[in-house]
Amino acid sequence: MAYTIRKKFTFEAAHQLVDHDGKCARLHGHSWVAWVEVQGTEVYLDGPKRNMLVDFADVKSAVKPLVNGYLDHHHLNDTLGCDMPTSEYVAKWLFDKVANLMPGLAAVEIEETCTSMCRYQP
């Protein structure tokens, strides 16, 4: 038996895909959604987190400072140090930053628009 929990984070951010051959080469912004997914087979058996795989508050504590400091209302080219901060790049960047903070991290999904998303799962 395995458990999967997902926590949603939203942020507004601008980016520019400098080498893109279409309109995304121009500076523009999105209302982004990030889903952080944690998986495991065992829940806590006692204590204040009994019957939880991981406390949603712990996921928030690990992810929210990254969202606030680097993503929300930022120009991603600047804060992520990349001239092509695609959905794929943002998903891997966030995964790599959270991996050391969140045991069981399984995947990060980034929704760049309401119809376009990327899932990074190593």
Give the active site residues.
Answer: 24, 73, 112
Residues counted in the chain: 122
Give me the residue label for tokens 């058996």. 45
- For 30, 42, 108, 117, 118, the CA distances from 102, given in Å and listed in that order, are 27, 15, 12, 22, 20
Print the SS3 string covering 52-91: CCCCHHHHHHHHHHHHHHHHCCEEHHHHCCCCCCCHHHHH
